[in-house]
Structure 1
Amino acid sequence: MKNPSMDFYLINIRAVFLITLAMILNSNVFAYGNPTLKVLLFNTSSHIDLKSYYGMNVKSHQHNSKGDFRVRFKYAGTGKILIDSRWKVSNSIWIESEDSIQIIRRGKSDGRRYRGKLELKPYKGGFHVINHVPIELYLEGVLNAEISTDWDLDVVQAQAIISRTFALFKREQRLNRSWHVTAGQNDQVYLGENITDHRSRVAIDNTKGIVVNYRGKLAQTYYHSNCGGVTEDPVNVWQFSLPYLKVKSVPYGQRDPKYFWEHSISFRELRQIASKAGLKAQNLNKIYIENRTESHRVANIVFSNGKQSFRMEATKFRKLAGYGKIQSLLFDTIQTTKGYRFQGTGHGHGVGLCQWAAKEMAEVGYRFDDILRFFYTDTNIQIYNRL
């Protein structure tokens, strides 16, 4: 026979548990403050024009104006910036608008517009143009630059999470610097508000504040286009190792139309590459692969002239040859009468999430959190709750 008092007790315990869980989740959500990211757009030693349809407020310690629709800023030498050929200032200039701000360089615009604040920060040879933007708005300028938002929504959501995590990791790492990330491939490509669309906003909103963590700290969520069937250990790319980024076989990604690639390099071009690396390039007429990493990527290449041999790290070789030519280090070489033909698979450094593989995984039913766990071993996802 049931004890009514026991049922009442269990119901109350369950109610307390559910209320406590809801409070924890809500506190995490409200603790997320959408931190501001400082993005270095570019440096210039010339001039730029800023334009906004709703007008701009321009502020510095030495100047303050409101409602300007277009303003020219010119480097005036010795760490100073000239505003509209009238006011010369020697400290940071802040520009805000209710609308986005368009940047015009040398009379031409690439059409990019930026929300948030712009900071023009003078230095000895010119001035930095820095966008101060909330992280969630920043992501709207990243997703379509780094992945196709036409892909399955789970892939786009996974990309939103790792791009957010990557940016916040850099923010913590460079907190007191003039900027946290650059707008190019050295960090993440950021193109402002022009490239955002409905699907990218949905992916960002659905994952708002969510990051990848490893043992209570932000993971370093590197990613690339296609791993060619196997990921790489970062120790072979950047000389540091991470427990959640190891060599892993990836049985997806071959539907990428650029999965297989080849490129020919002449003997003359090879000598130019060797010369750029500081090697004695005269009469070099042979190269060979000396060794490979655990993932079978090329580790070192040897140049030879028959009498002398010179070793070069494969990562350096790829950089000097051009990333668009040697698309990954998963390659073999074939000697021809004019030089060497390089044949390989994949494109990118191979560390972390493989975007084309993630695309195919989503198409066969993997959710965004499954994809993240696959590429970032023993990590978890949670709301970012640090300022």
Structure 2
Amino acid sequence: MILLAELAAWIVRAALISWCFSGVEVFALLTPLEQGYLHTNFSRYLLFFIASLFINILASGLPELKPVKMHQFCKKVEYYFTDTWTTLNFLLQGSKNQKIKRNIIVLSGLKKICIPIDMSHLFIENTEPIKKVEYIKTIIIMIISLVLMIIAPIGIMKLYDYIATVLILLGMPEKFAGHIIFDTSIILFYFYFIGPYVFSTLDYKNSSAIIFSKQILNDGNYAVYESPIMPFLQGCPLGMAHKGKIFVNSLISKNQNILSYVIAHEEGHIEDHYNNIMRNFFSPVIFPWIVYISVLIIDYLHFVGKLHYTYWKLIIVAVSVICLILIIFIQIEQKCQQRADEFAIRKIGIDNAIKALQELAYGDIMLPEKYKYRYRSQAIKLIERLKQK
């Protein structure tokens, strides 16, 4: 059986890349065709089509069409219903974790999660029998995405050409008009389609835990969900907060002491205005467009002669600014974690916090080995700090 859902997600991802990548070569749209290396619209169209496929292969590899063999004996089996768009968003991110094996044939419908006794992998597959309408939905998504991937370069090139003409008529320098379109494409391409799913795993963690989770309790103002997929995500997060909800790792959900501490810690993140400001600033709604406006201002000052720079200097400055932002982000993240710990300690008390951390450090929690020692060292440091109070 062919994994049609994986193929559909791969084609959709290639279509999105094709849409954004079509704006990268926009400078040629502002010059006569015979002056460039690409002498016809068809040659440009072919370049964008091939480039989108190539970038998609680099970003996520070839689509996995053949089902993987599942374990016959499962330690834990759970069922989750996902609709077409939810499953597509999950699959769009590619195979980010080799421990999660996906045998998803169609997008919508009931999914079965199987965790074998040795906890080596997690398997996700459709439950049988699969309705014909689910096959039809998946195939329709594939066809629409394939059509969009084919026509996107032509449509986007025409759109950018029209926008560039309008900007020039408004009195903007020709090259600056081209840079506006180019910068817009890069921002959309990196921050919304490549960055979240290739260079960062945060969105993958959030979406995976949200899709495959079940509510286990309601702790005051916040609902708490258990996710069986979290033990297999990168970093093996014990908990995470997302849009006022708390998601906890299924490995700790049966240990009441650790569970109480993790829930209180995540509540600390939700209640912390300092953390919310940081998250909002670095969110896809604000941060990319601050970068976008800053780049446009620099471009404009350059083209009107008020700012002079070489591209090498620009690259050095850009790299320096990015490194500075990363350092600031890491420092703020550490501060937010510390404030969340302090909130948890105030809520459950120092004695209960120490007990929970001791069980996390020395207990029999079945964490993966490479993460067990990291959490143990963190817990021991926090215990020592608490005992000094």
| TM-score bracket for this pair, using the shorter chain length | under 0.3
**Higher relative strand content:** 1
TM-score normalised by L of structure 1: 0.23
